Amino acid sequence: MLHILVCVLSGLTAIPLLAILGEVLIKGWRQLGWSFLTEATPNAYKAMMAMSAGETIPGGIANGIVGTFLMLLVAAAVAIPVGIFCGICLSEYRKNWFATIVSYLTDLLQGTPSIIIGIITYIWVVVPTKGYSAFAGSVALFIMMLPLIIRSTEETMKVLPETLKEAGLALGGSYWRVMLKVMLPSALGSIFTGILLAISRVVGETAPLMFTALGGAAISWNMAKPMSAVPLLIWEFFNDPNLQSLIWGASLFLLTFVLCLNLLAKRIAKKWKV
Amino acid sequence: MQDKIFKGLLILSAIVIPVIGGGIVYSLTNDAAGAFERFGFFHFIFSDDWVTTAGKESYGALPFITGTLLTTILALLMCIPFSLPVALFTGEYFKGRKIATVLGTVTDLLAGIPSVIYGLWGFYVLRSVFIHLDLSPQGSGILTAAFVLAIMIVPYAASLSAEFVKMVPSELKEGAYAMGATRAEVIKRVVFPIAGPGIFSAYILAIGRALGETMTVTMLIGNTNQMPDTLRTTGNTMASIIANQFGEADGLKLSSLIAIGLLLFLITAIINLIGKILIRRARRV
Protein backbone atom coordinates (compact mmCIF):
# COMPACT_ATOMS: atom_id res chain seq x y z
CA MET A 1 0.00 0.00 0.00
CA LEU A 2 2.67 2.44 1.10
CA HIS A 3 4.93 1.59 -1.81
CA ILE A 4 2.22 2.42 -4.35
CA LEU A 5 1.73 5.80 -2.69
CA VAL A 6 5.49 6.42 -2.70
CA CYS A 7 5.78 5.53 -6.38
CA VAL A 8 2.80 7.66 -7.42
CA LEU A 9 3.90 10.72 -5.48
CA SER A 10 7.49 10.35 -6.68
CA GLY A 11 6.29 10.08 -10.24
CA LEU A 12 4.29 13.27 -9.82
CA THR A 13 7.46 15.26 -9.16
CA ALA A 14 8.53 14.62 -12.76
CA ILE A 15 5.45 16.46 -14.03
CA PRO A 16 6.67 20.02 -13.38
CA LEU A 17 9.96 19.25 -15.15
CA LEU A 18 8.17 17.87 -18.20
CA ALA A 19 5.61 20.67 -18.14
CA ILE A 20 8.23 23.41 -17.99
CA LEU A 21 10.47 21.79 -20.60
CA GLY A 22 7.49 21.20 -22.87
CA GLU A 23 6.14 24.71 -22.51
CA VAL A 24 9.48 26.39 -23.18
CA LEU A 25 10.29 24.03 -26.04
CA ILE A 26 6.94 24.36 -27.83
CA LYS A 27 6.81 28.14 -27.55
CA GLY A 28 10.49 28.79 -27.98
CA TRP A 29 11.95 26.55 -30.67
CA ARG A 30 10.48 28.53 -33.55
CA GLN A 31 12.31 31.66 -32.44
CA LEU A 32 15.70 30.06 -31.99
CA GLY A 33 17.59 30.72 -35.19
CA TRP A 34 20.82 32.21 -36.40
CA SER A 35 19.59 35.81 -36.26
CA PHE A 36 18.11 35.29 -32.79
CA LEU A 37 21.52 34.31 -31.48
CA THR A 38 23.58 36.91 -33.35
CA GLU A 39 21.50 40.08 -33.25
CA ALA A 40 20.92 42.49 -30.38
CA THR A 41 17.56 43.12 -28.75
CA PRO A 42 15.35 45.58 -30.67
CA ASN A 43 14.00 48.62 -28.89
CA ALA A 44 10.37 48.69 -27.88
CA TYR A 45 9.43 51.01 -30.78
CA LYS A 46 10.90 48.75 -33.46
CA ALA A 47 9.25 45.75 -31.86
CA MET A 48 5.91 47.55 -31.76
CA MET A 49 6.16 48.51 -35.42
CA ALA A 50 6.97 44.95 -36.43
CA MET A 51 4.11 43.63 -34.33
CA SER A 52 1.57 46.03 -35.77
CA ALA A 53 2.76 45.15 -39.27
CA GLY A 54 2.16 41.52 -38.39
CA GLU A 55 5.81 40.54 -38.80
CA THR A 56 7.95 38.69 -36.33
CA ILE A 57 10.01 40.93 -34.07
CA PRO A 58 13.50 41.47 -35.51
CA GLY A 59 16.62 40.91 -33.47
CA GLY A 60 17.51 38.51 -30.72
CA ILE A 61 19.47 38.06 -27.56
CA ALA A 62 23.10 38.41 -28.69
CA ASN A 63 23.69 41.27 -26.25
CA GLY A 64 22.61 39.01 -23.41
CA ILE A 65 24.68 36.07 -24.58
CA VAL A 66 27.82 38.21 -24.86
CA GLY A 67 27.15 39.77 -21.46
CA THR A 68 26.48 36.48 -19.74
CA PHE A 69 29.68 34.93 -21.04
CA LEU A 70 31.84 37.97 -20.40
CA MET A 71 30.64 38.48 -16.84
CA LEU A 72 30.87 34.77 -16.09
CA LEU A 73 34.37 34.63 -17.50
CA VAL A 74 35.64 37.45 -15.31
CA ALA A 75 33.84 36.08 -12.23
CA ALA A 76 35.12 32.55 -12.81
CA ALA A 77 38.68 33.71 -13.50
CA VAL A 78 38.87 35.03 -9.93
CA ALA A 79 36.50 32.64 -8.15
CA ILE A 80 38.16 29.43 -9.40
CA PRO A 81 41.72 30.02 -8.07
CA VAL A 82 40.55 31.69 -4.85
CA GLY A 83 37.92 29.01 -4.29
CA ILE A 84 40.31 26.13 -4.90
CA PHE A 85 42.97 27.61 -2.59
CA CYS A 86 40.43 28.28 0.11
CA GLY A 87 39.04 24.75 -0.27
CA ILE A 88 42.54 23.28 0.09
CA CYS A 89 43.08 25.45 3.16
CA LEU A 90 39.86 24.22 4.78
CA SER A 91 40.67 20.57 4.16
CA GLU A 92 44.29 20.95 5.35
CA TYR A 93 43.49 22.75 8.61
CA ARG A 94 40.21 21.03 9.34
CA LYS A 95 40.69 20.89 13.13
CA ASN A 96 41.75 24.54 13.35
CA TRP A 97 39.34 27.11 14.87
CA PHE A 98 39.89 29.56 12.02
CA ALA A 99 39.06 26.92 9.40
CA THR A 100 35.93 25.94 11.34
CA ILE A 101 34.71 29.53 11.33
CA VAL A 102 35.51 29.95 7.64
CA SER A 103 33.71 26.70 6.93
CA TYR A 104 30.54 27.88 8.70
CA LEU A 105 30.78 31.27 7.00
CA THR A 106 31.06 29.54 3.63
CA ASP A 107 27.79 27.73 4.35
CA LEU A 108 26.27 31.02 5.40
CA LEU A 109 27.38 32.77 2.23
CA GLN A 110 26.08 29.88 0.14
CA GLY A 111 22.69 30.22 1.79
CA THR A 112 22.52 33.99 1.43
CA PRO A 113 19.63 35.00 -0.85
CA SER A 114 20.86 36.17 -4.24
CA ILE A 115 18.98 39.45 -3.90
CA ILE A 116 21.15 40.29 -0.86
CA ILE A 117 24.26 39.66 -2.95
CA GLY A 118 22.76 42.12 -5.44
CA ILE A 119 22.26 44.79 -2.76
CA ILE A 120 25.71 44.31 -1.30
CA THR A 121 27.40 44.56 -4.68
CA TYR A 122 25.37 47.69 -5.33
CA ILE A 123 26.71 49.17 -2.09
CA TRP A 124 30.28 47.99 -2.64
CA VAL A 125 30.77 48.57 -6.34
CA VAL A 126 27.97 50.57 -7.97
CA VAL A 127 27.84 53.38 -5.38
CA PRO A 128 31.63 54.07 -5.18
CA THR A 129 32.11 53.85 -8.98
CA LYS A 130 29.00 55.96 -9.49
CA GLY A 131 27.40 53.78 -12.10
CA TYR A 132 26.07 50.37 -13.06
CA SER A 133 28.66 48.23 -14.80
CA ALA A 134 29.33 44.73 -16.06
CA PHE A 135 32.22 44.68 -13.61
CA ALA A 136 29.75 45.02 -10.73
CA GLY A 137 27.78 42.13 -12.23
CA SER A 138 30.95 40.05 -12.25
CA VAL A 139 31.60 40.84 -8.61
CA ALA A 140 28.10 39.68 -7.70
CA LEU A 141 28.53 36.44 -9.66
CA PHE A 142 31.95 35.96 -8.05
CA ILE A 143 30.44 36.18 -4.56
CA MET A 144 27.79 33.64 -5.57
CA MET A 145 30.25 31.18 -7.13
CA LEU A 146 32.94 31.31 -4.47
CA PRO A 147 31.25 29.23 -1.71
CA LEU A 148 30.16 26.59 -4.24
CA ILE A 149 33.71 26.09 -5.52
CA ILE A 150 35.17 26.13 -1.99
CA ARG A 151 32.71 23.44 -0.84
CA SER A 152 33.34 21.11 -3.77
CA THR A 153 37.13 21.48 -3.48
CA GLU A 154 37.06 20.96 0.28
CA GLU A 155 34.85 17.87 0.10
CA THR A 156 37.01 16.32 -2.62
CA MET A 157 40.33 17.01 -0.91
CA LYS A 158 38.95 15.54 2.33
CA VAL A 159 38.23 12.16 0.77
CA LEU A 160 41.67 11.85 -0.86
CA PRO A 161 43.73 9.28 1.07
CA GLU A 162 46.21 10.75 3.52
CA THR A 163 48.75 8.19 2.28
CA LEU A 164 48.86 9.94 -1.09
CA LYS A 165 50.20 13.07 0.52
CA GLU A 166 52.57 11.12 2.76
CA ALA A 167 53.95 9.22 -0.22
CA GLY A 168 54.65 12.47 -2.03
CA LEU A 169 56.33 14.00 1.00
CA ALA A 170 58.35 10.84 1.62
CA LEU A 171 59.74 11.05 -1.91
CA GLY A 172 61.20 14.39 -0.94
CA GLY A 173 58.61 16.63 -2.57
CA SER A 174 58.14 19.96 -0.88
CA TYR A 175 54.74 20.65 0.64
CA TRP A 176 53.47 23.03 -2.04
CA ARG A 177 54.73 20.75 -4.80
CA VAL A 178 52.94 17.74 -3.31
CA MET A 179 49.74 19.74 -2.86
CA LEU A 180 49.71 21.25 -6.35
CA LYS A 181 51.23 18.40 -8.35
CA VAL A 182 49.92 15.31 -6.54
CA MET A 183 46.84 16.16 -4.49
CA LEU A 184 45.21 18.74 -6.74
CA PRO A 185 45.49 16.69 -9.98
CA SER A 186 43.95 13.66 -8.23
CA ALA A 187 41.00 15.79 -7.22
CA LEU A 188 40.68 17.66 -10.49
CA GLY A 189 37.74 15.68 -11.90
CA SER A 190 35.51 16.37 -8.93
CA ILE A 191 36.64 19.96 -8.64
CA PHE A 192 35.86 20.47 -12.31
CA THR A 193 32.38 19.04 -11.73
CA GLY A 194 31.97 21.48 -8.85
CA ILE A 195 33.00 24.38 -11.08
CA LEU A 196 30.54 23.36 -13.79
CA LEU A 197 27.73 23.10 -11.23
CA ALA A 198 28.69 26.48 -9.79
CA ILE A 199 28.53 28.03 -13.26
CA SER A 200 25.20 26.37 -14.01
CA ARG A 201 23.90 27.69 -10.70
CA VAL A 202 24.83 31.33 -11.32
CA VAL A 203 24.25 31.53 -15.07
CA GLY A 204 20.50 31.72 -14.54
CA GLU A 205 20.66 34.25 -11.71
CA THR A 206 18.70 37.42 -12.31
CA ALA A 207 18.41 39.04 -8.91
CA PRO A 208 22.11 39.79 -8.32
CA LEU A 209 22.42 41.40 -11.77
CA MET A 210 19.38 43.68 -11.61
CA PHE A 211 21.06 46.43 -9.59
CA THR A 212 24.61 45.78 -10.77
CA ALA A 213 24.90 45.03 -14.50
CA LEU A 214 21.48 46.62 -15.10
CA GLY A 215 21.18 45.55 -18.75
CA GLY A 216 21.54 47.21 -22.10
CA ALA A 217 20.12 46.91 -25.59
CA ALA A 218 23.35 46.96 -27.59
CA ILE A 219 26.07 44.35 -27.78
CA SER A 220 28.74 45.67 -25.46
CA TRP A 221 32.24 44.45 -24.58
CA ASN A 222 33.03 47.24 -22.16
CA MET A 223 33.19 45.96 -18.58
CA ALA A 224 32.91 49.50 -17.19
CA LYS A 225 29.51 50.04 -18.80
CA PRO A 226 26.12 48.45 -18.08
CA MET A 227 25.69 45.12 -19.80
CA SER A 228 22.87 42.70 -20.35
CA ALA A 229 22.66 39.00 -19.59
CA VAL A 230 20.25 36.34 -20.80
CA PRO A 231 18.28 36.07 -17.51
CA LEU A 232 18.14 39.87 -17.31
CA LEU A 233 16.71 39.96 -20.83
CA ILE A 234 14.04 37.45 -19.86
CA TRP A 235 13.08 39.70 -16.96
CA GLU A 236 13.05 42.70 -19.30
CA PHE A 237 10.86 40.92 -21.85
CA PHE A 238 8.54 39.87 -19.04
CA ASN A 239 8.01 43.50 -18.07
CA ASP A 240 7.77 44.97 -21.59
CA PRO A 241 4.58 43.97 -23.40
CA ASN A 242 6.13 44.86 -26.78
CA LEU A 243 8.99 42.42 -26.41
CA GLN A 244 7.03 39.58 -24.83
CA SER A 245 7.19 37.36 -27.88
CA LEU A 246 10.97 37.06 -27.52
CA ILE A 247 10.66 35.61 -24.04
CA TRP A 248 10.34 31.94 -24.90
CA GLY A 249 13.29 31.84 -27.27
CA ALA A 250 15.49 33.42 -24.63
CA SER A 251 14.18 31.00 -22.00
CA LEU A 252 14.79 28.02 -24.26
CA PHE A 253 18.38 29.15 -24.81
CA LEU A 254 19.01 29.61 -21.09
CA LEU A 255 17.29 26.39 -20.09
CA THR A 256 19.16 24.33 -22.68
CA PHE A 257 22.47 25.82 -21.59
CA VAL A 258 21.87 25.24 -17.88
CA LEU A 259 20.51 21.72 -18.23
CA CYS A 260 23.35 20.68 -20.58
CA LEU A 261 25.90 21.97 -18.08
CA ASN A 262 24.12 19.99 -15.38
CA LEU A 263 24.10 16.78 -17.36
CA LEU A 264 27.73 17.29 -18.43
CA ALA A 265 28.74 17.77 -14.80
CA LYS A 266 26.93 14.55 -13.87
CA ARG A 267 28.65 12.65 -16.67
CA ILE A 268 32.08 13.92 -15.62
CA ALA A 269 31.40 13.18 -11.97
CA LYS A 270 30.60 9.59 -12.85
CA LYS A 271 33.70 9.15 -15.00
CA TRP A 272 36.29 10.83 -12.80
CA LYS A 273 35.06 9.76 -9.43
CA VAL A 274 37.78 10.11 -6.80
CA MET B 1 60.47 29.45 1.66
CA GLN B 2 58.16 28.48 -1.17
CA ASP B 3 56.17 26.42 1.31
CA LYS B 4 55.67 29.52 3.39
CA ILE B 5 54.45 31.51 0.39
CA PHE B 6 52.10 28.66 -0.51
CA LYS B 7 50.68 28.42 3.02
CA GLY B 8 50.35 32.19 3.09
CA LEU B 9 48.34 32.06 -0.13
CA LEU B 10 46.08 29.35 1.31
CA ILE B 11 45.33 31.43 4.40
CA LEU B 12 44.96 34.62 2.36
CA SER B 13 42.34 33.02 0.11
CA ALA B 14 40.52 31.70 3.18
CA ILE B 15 40.42 35.20 4.68
CA VAL B 16 38.33 36.35 1.70
CA ILE B 17 35.30 34.56 3.16
CA PRO B 18 35.23 36.25 6.59
CA VAL B 19 35.94 39.55 4.85
CA ILE B 20 32.90 39.13 2.58
CA GLY B 21 30.73 37.81 5.41
CA GLY B 22 31.70 40.56 7.82
CA GLY B 23 31.45 43.13 5.06
CA ILE B 24 27.88 42.11 4.27
CA VAL B 25 26.78 42.55 7.88
CA TYR B 26 28.68 45.83 8.25
CA SER B 27 27.50 47.43 5.00
CA LEU B 28 23.87 46.35 5.40
CA THR B 29 23.76 47.58 9.00
CA ASN B 30 25.47 50.81 8.04
CA ASP B 31 23.05 51.59 5.22
CA ALA B 32 19.98 50.38 7.10
CA ALA B 33 20.79 52.62 10.07
CA GLY B 34 18.92 55.55 8.53
CA ALA B 35 15.62 53.69 8.50
CA PHE B 36 16.09 52.18 11.95
CA GLU B 37 17.01 55.55 13.45
CA ARG B 38 14.04 57.26 11.88
CA PHE B 39 11.36 54.69 12.70
CA GLY B 40 12.94 52.74 15.55
CA PHE B 41 14.03 49.12 15.15
CA PHE B 42 10.92 47.46 16.58
CA HIS B 43 8.51 49.97 15.14
CA PHE B 44 10.01 49.35 11.69
CA ILE B 45 9.50 45.59 12.06
CA PHE B 46 5.95 45.82 13.38
CA SER B 47 4.63 48.66 11.24
CA ASP B 48 2.57 47.96 8.14
CA ASP B 49 2.94 51.44 6.60
CA TRP B 50 4.36 51.81 3.14
CA VAL B 51 3.82 55.45 2.23
CA THR B 52 6.13 56.79 -0.43
CA THR B 53 4.69 60.31 -0.73
CA ALA B 54 7.50 62.84 -0.23
CA GLY B 55 7.32 64.51 3.19
CA LYS B 56 4.98 61.87 4.63
CA GLU B 57 7.26 58.91 4.03
CA SER B 58 6.72 56.04 6.40
CA TYR B 59 7.95 52.51 5.99
CA GLY B 60 7.45 49.27 7.84
CA ALA B 61 8.43 45.69 7.16
CA LEU B 62 5.52 43.76 8.65
CA PRO B 63 3.54 43.01 5.43
CA PHE B 64 6.69 41.69 3.79
CA ILE B 65 7.83 39.66 6.77
CA THR B 66 4.32 38.18 6.88
CA GLY B 67 4.43 37.50 3.14
CA THR B 68 7.78 35.77 3.42
CA LEU B 69 6.69 33.62 6.35
CA LEU B 70 3.36 32.71 4.73
CA THR B 71 4.86 31.69 1.38
CA THR B 72 7.66 29.77 3.06
CA ILE B 73 5.45 27.84 5.47
CA LEU B 74 2.91 27.05 2.75
CA ALA B 75 5.68 25.96 0.39
CA LEU B 76 7.12 23.70 3.07
CA LEU B 77 3.72 22.10 3.76
CA MET B 78 3.17 21.47 0.05
CA CYS B 79 6.70 20.19 -0.43
CA ILE B 80 6.69 17.48 2.26
CA PRO B 81 4.14 15.09 0.64
CA PHE B 82 6.33 14.93 -2.47
CA SER B 83 9.89 15.18 -1.21
CA LEU B 84 9.44 12.51 1.45
CA PRO B 85 8.23 9.87 -1.05
CA VAL B 86 11.08 10.79 -3.41
CA ALA B 87 13.57 10.35 -0.56
CA LEU B 88 12.07 6.91 0.26
CA PHE B 89 11.97 6.01 -3.43
CA THR B 90 15.64 6.76 -4.08
CA GLY B 91 16.97 5.90 -0.62
CA GLU B 92 14.96 2.84 0.38
CA TYR B 93 12.61 1.20 -2.11
CA PHE B 94 14.77 1.40 -5.22
CA LYS B 95 18.12 2.12 -3.58
CA GLY B 96 20.96 1.68 -6.08
CA ARG B 97 18.66 0.69 -8.95
CA LYS B 98 18.49 2.31 -12.34
CA ILE B 99 15.04 3.82 -11.75
CA ALA B 100 16.34 5.63 -8.66
CA THR B 101 19.12 7.18 -10.76
CA VAL B 102 16.52 8.31 -13.28
CA LEU B 103 14.42 9.97 -10.58
CA GLY B 104 17.61 11.47 -9.14
CA THR B 105 18.40 13.02 -12.52
CA VAL B 106 14.85 14.36 -12.78
CA THR B 107 15.08 16.09 -9.43
CA ASP B 108 18.60 17.37 -10.19
CA LEU B 109 17.36 18.94 -13.42
CA LEU B 110 14.37 20.38 -11.58
CA ALA B 111 16.82 21.96 -9.15
CA GLY B 112 18.83 23.36 -12.05
CA ILE B 113 16.01 25.31 -13.71
CA PRO B 114 16.64 29.05 -13.23
CA SER B 115 14.13 30.83 -11.04
CA VAL B 116 13.05 33.29 -13.77
CA ILE B 117 11.88 30.34 -15.85
CA TYR B 118 9.90 28.94 -12.94
CA GLY B 119 8.36 32.39 -12.67
CA LEU B 120 7.48 32.50 -16.37
CA TRP B 121 5.91 29.07 -16.27
CA GLY B 122 3.95 30.00 -13.17
CA PHE B 123 2.79 33.25 -14.74
CA TYR B 124 1.79 32.01 -18.18
CA VAL B 125 0.61 28.48 -17.37
CA LEU B 126 -0.17 27.95 -13.72
CA ARG B 127 -1.93 31.25 -13.18
CA SER B 128 -4.72 30.40 -15.61
CA VAL B 129 -5.08 27.00 -13.96
CA PHE B 130 -5.44 28.68 -10.58
CA ILE B 131 -8.06 31.09 -11.92
CA HIS B 132 -9.90 28.19 -13.53
CA LEU B 133 -9.94 26.21 -10.29
CA ASP B 134 -11.06 29.35 -8.47
CA LEU B 135 -8.15 29.12 -6.06
CA SER B 136 -7.28 32.75 -6.48
CA PRO B 137 -9.17 35.61 -8.15
CA GLN B 138 -6.33 37.01 -10.26
CA GLY B 139 -4.34 33.82 -10.40
CA SER B 140 -1.32 35.46 -8.86
CA GLY B 141 -0.89 35.78 -5.15
CA ILE B 142 0.54 34.11 -2.09
CA LEU B 143 -0.92 30.70 -2.88
CA THR B 144 0.44 30.64 -6.44
CA ALA B 145 3.89 31.82 -5.36
CA ALA B 146 4.01 29.24 -2.58
CA PHE B 147 2.99 26.46 -4.94
CA VAL B 148 5.83 27.15 -7.37
CA LEU B 149 8.18 27.68 -4.45
CA ALA B 150 7.22 24.20 -3.21
CA ILE B 151 8.14 22.68 -6.57
CA MET B 152 11.48 24.47 -6.40
CA ILE B 153 12.44 23.15 -2.96
CA VAL B 154 11.25 19.56 -3.48
CA PRO B 155 14.53 18.47 -5.17
CA TYR B 156 16.63 20.12 -2.48
CA ALA B 157 14.74 18.59 0.45
CA ALA B 158 14.46 15.22 -1.30
CA SER B 159 18.12 14.77 -2.14
CA LEU B 160 19.23 15.80 1.35
CA SER B 161 16.69 13.53 3.05
CA ALA B 162 17.54 10.61 0.76
CA GLU B 163 21.11 10.81 2.00
CA PHE B 164 19.90 10.07 5.54
CA VAL B 165 17.42 7.41 4.50
CA LYS B 166 20.28 5.60 2.74
CA MET B 167 22.44 5.79 5.84
CA VAL B 168 20.08 3.68 7.98
CA PRO B 169 22.10 0.50 8.74
CA SER B 170 20.73 -2.54 6.94
CA GLU B 171 21.36 -4.78 9.99
CA LEU B 172 18.65 -2.89 11.84
CA LYS B 173 16.20 -3.19 8.97
CA GLU B 174 17.01 -6.88 8.51
CA GLY B 175 16.51 -7.40 12.22
CA ALA B 176 13.04 -5.92 11.96
CA TYR B 177 12.21 -8.00 8.88
CA ALA B 178 13.41 -11.12 10.70
CA MET B 179 10.91 -10.41 13.43
CA GLY B 180 8.15 -10.33 10.84
CA ALA B 181 7.78 -6.63 10.26
CA THR B 182 6.37 -5.48 6.94
CA ARG B 183 8.16 -2.93 4.81
CA ALA B 184 5.76 -0.17 5.89
CA GLU B 185 6.44 -1.05 9.52
CA VAL B 186 10.19 -1.04 8.95
CA ILE B 187 9.95 2.42 7.42
CA LYS B 188 7.78 3.68 10.23
CA ARG B 189 9.59 2.04 13.13
CA VAL B 190 13.21 1.84 11.93
CA VAL B 191 13.94 4.17 9.03
CA PHE B 192 12.11 7.26 10.25
CA PRO B 193 13.35 7.20 13.85
CA ILE B 194 16.96 6.83 12.71
CA ALA B 195 16.89 9.13 9.68
CA GLY B 196 14.50 11.55 11.41
CA PRO B 197 17.00 14.14 12.70
CA GLY B 198 18.69 14.26 9.30
CA ILE B 199 15.40 14.62 7.44
CA PHE B 200 14.36 17.34 9.86
CA SER B 201 17.55 19.30 9.20
CA ALA B 202 17.02 18.84 5.46
CA TYR B 203 13.68 20.62 5.78
CA ILE B 204 15.22 23.41 7.83
CA LEU B 205 17.70 23.99 5.00
CA ALA B 206 14.85 23.86 2.48
CA ILE B 207 13.13 26.62 4.47
CA GLY B 208 16.34 28.64 4.24
CA ARG B 209 16.23 28.20 0.48
CA ALA B 210 12.59 29.25 0.20
CA LEU B 211 12.95 32.35 2.37
CA GLY B 212 15.24 34.15 -0.02
CA GLU B 213 13.86 33.02 -3.37
CA THR B 214 13.36 36.20 -5.34
CA MET B 215 12.47 36.10 -9.02
CA THR B 216 9.80 33.43 -8.99
CA VAL B 217 8.00 35.04 -6.11
CA THR B 218 8.30 38.54 -7.58
CA MET B 219 6.68 37.35 -10.79
CA LEU B 220 3.85 35.48 -9.07
CA ILE B 221 2.89 37.14 -5.82
CA GLY B 222 1.16 40.16 -7.31
CA ASN B 223 3.28 42.81 -5.61
CA THR B 224 0.91 44.70 -3.31
CA ASN B 225 2.15 46.33 -0.14
CA GLN B 226 -0.84 45.74 2.14
CA MET B 227 -1.00 43.13 4.84
CA PRO B 228 -2.25 39.92 3.22
CA ASP B 229 -5.51 38.87 4.89
CA THR B 230 -6.17 35.57 3.15
CA LEU B 231 -3.98 33.17 1.20
CA ARG B 232 -5.86 33.99 -1.98
CA THR B 233 -4.82 37.63 -1.98
CA THR B 234 -1.74 39.20 -3.46
CA GLY B 235 1.16 40.39 -1.36
CA ASN B 236 4.89 40.87 -1.32
CA THR B 237 7.79 39.11 0.33
CA MET B 238 10.93 40.70 1.70
CA ALA B 239 12.86 39.59 -1.37
CA SER B 240 10.19 40.64 -3.87
CA ILE B 241 9.71 44.16 -2.48
CA ILE B 242 13.47 44.70 -2.83
CA ALA B 243 13.49 43.31 -6.36
CA ASN B 244 10.58 45.55 -7.29
CA GLN B 245 11.51 48.85 -5.73
CA PHE B 246 15.27 48.91 -5.16
CA GLY B 247 16.04 50.13 -8.68
CA GLU B 248 14.34 53.50 -8.39
CA ALA B 249 14.71 54.03 -4.64
CA ASP B 250 16.81 56.62 -2.88
CA GLY B 251 17.11 58.30 0.50
CA LEU B 252 14.88 56.96 3.23
CA LYS B 253 13.19 54.42 0.96
CA LEU B 254 16.54 52.97 -0.11
CA SER B 255 17.58 52.74 3.51
CA SER B 256 14.29 51.02 4.40
CA LEU B 257 14.72 48.50 1.60
CA ILE B 258 18.27 47.78 2.77
CA ALA B 259 16.89 47.39 6.30
CA ILE B 260 14.46 44.77 4.95
CA GLY B 261 17.44 43.17 3.23
CA LEU B 262 19.32 43.07 6.53
CA LEU B 263 16.35 41.42 8.26
CA LEU B 264 16.07 38.88 5.45
CA PHE B 265 19.79 38.18 5.65
CA LEU B 266 19.63 37.66 9.41
CA ILE B 267 16.59 35.38 9.23
CA THR B 268 18.12 33.18 6.51
CA ALA B 269 21.48 33.18 8.29
CA ILE B 270 19.91 31.95 11.54
CA ILE B 271 17.79 29.30 9.80
CA ASN B 272 20.76 28.10 7.74
CA LEU B 273 23.04 28.02 10.75
CA ILE B 274 20.55 25.91 12.72
CA GLY B 275 20.11 23.63 9.70
CA LYS B 276 23.85 23.21 9.17
CA ILE B 277 24.56 22.49 12.83
CA LEU B 278 21.76 19.91 12.92
CA ILE B 279 22.83 18.31 9.66
CA ARG B 280 26.47 18.06 10.75
CA ARG B 281 25.33 16.41 13.95
CA ALA B 282 23.05 14.04 12.04
CA ARG B 283 25.84 13.06 9.64
CA ARG B 284 28.18 12.22 12.48
CA VAL B 285 25.86 9.59 13.97
State the fold for domain B63-284: MetI-like fold (1.10.3720)
Rg (CA), chain A: 22
Chain B residues close to A206, C-beta within 8 Å:
114-116, 214-215
Partnered with residue A214 across adjacent β-strands are: A227
Whether A241 has its CB under 8 Å from any CB of chain B: the answer is no
DSSP A58: P
Whether A193 has its CB under 8 Å from any CB of chain B: the answer is no
Burial class of residue B278, CB neighbours in 10 A (0-12, 13-18, 19+): middle
- Each residue's pLDDT tens digit, A216-250: 888 999 999 999 999 999 999 999 888 888 999 99
DSSP chain B: -HHHHHHHHHHHHHHHHHHHHHHHHHHHHHHHHHHHHHH-HHHHHH---EE-STTS-EE--HHHHHHHHHHHHHHHHHHHHHHHHHHHIIIIITTTSHHHHHHHHHHHHHHHS-HHHHHHHIIIIIHHHHHHTTSSSSS-SHHHHHHHHHHHHHHHHHHHHHHHHHTS-HHHHHHHHHTT--HHHHIIIIIHHHHHHHHHHHHHHHHHHHHH--HHHHHHSB---SPP-STTS-B--HHHHHHHHSTT--HHHHHHHHHHHHHHHHHHHHHHHHHHHHHHHHHH-
Domain ranges within chain B, ordered by starting residue = 2-51, 63-284
Whether A4 has its CB under 8 Å from any CB of chain B: the answer is no
Residue ranges of chain B whose pLDDT lies below 50 = none
Whether the predicted pLDDT of A54 surpasses 80: no
Helix axes A2-12, A14-28, angle to 10 degrees: 20
CATH no. for residue A174? 1.10.3720.10
| Residue B125 CB contacts under 8 Å (≥ 6 apart), including other chains | A19, A23
**Domain that includes residue A88, residue range:** 62-271
pLDDT at res. B285:
66
- Nearest chain A residue (CA) to B79: A13
Question: What is the number of residues in chain B?
Answer: 285
Smallest Cβ distance to A176: which of B2, B88, B109?
A: B2
CB contact under 8 A, B116 and A179: no
The whole-chain average pLDDT of chain A stands at 92
- Each residue's pLDDT tens digit, A8-51: 999 999 999 999 999 999 999 988 888 889 989 888 788 888 87
The whole-number average pLDDT for the span A138-167 is 94
pLDDT at res. A170:
94
Q: Are A218 and A46 contacting, i.e. CB atoms less than 8 angstroms apart?
A: no
Whether the predicted pLDDT of A274 surpasses 70: no
The whole-number average pLDDT for the span A69-98 is 94
Domain count for chain A: 1
Smallest Cβ distance to B13: which of A10, A24, A82?
A: A82
Whether A247 has its CB under 8 Å from any CB of chain B: the answer is yes
Chain B residues close to A10, C-beta within 8 Å:
82, 85-86, 89, 103
pLDDT at res. B230:
86
Smallest Cβ distance to B113: which of A20, A89, A176?
A: A20
Whether the predicted pLDDT of A7 surpasses 80: yes
Asked if residue A173 is part of any domain, the answer here is yes
How far away is chain B from the Cα of A120, in angstroms, using its nearest Cα?
6
CB contact under 8 A, B242 and A262: no
Q: Please state, in angstroms and rounded to a whole number, the distance separating the CA atoms of residues A33 and B141.
A: 36
- pLDDT more than 90, % of chain B: 84
pLDDT tier for residue A58 given thresholds of 50, 70 and 90:
confident
CB contact under 8 A, B246 and A206: no
pLDDT at res. A272:
78
CB contact under 8 A, A206 and B107: no
pLDDT tier for residue A269 given thresholds of 50, 70 and 90:
confident
- pLDDT more than 70, % of chain A: 99
Smallest Cβ distance to A112: which of B11, B81, B268?
A: B268
Q: Is the predicted ipTM greater than 0.90, yes or no?
A: yes
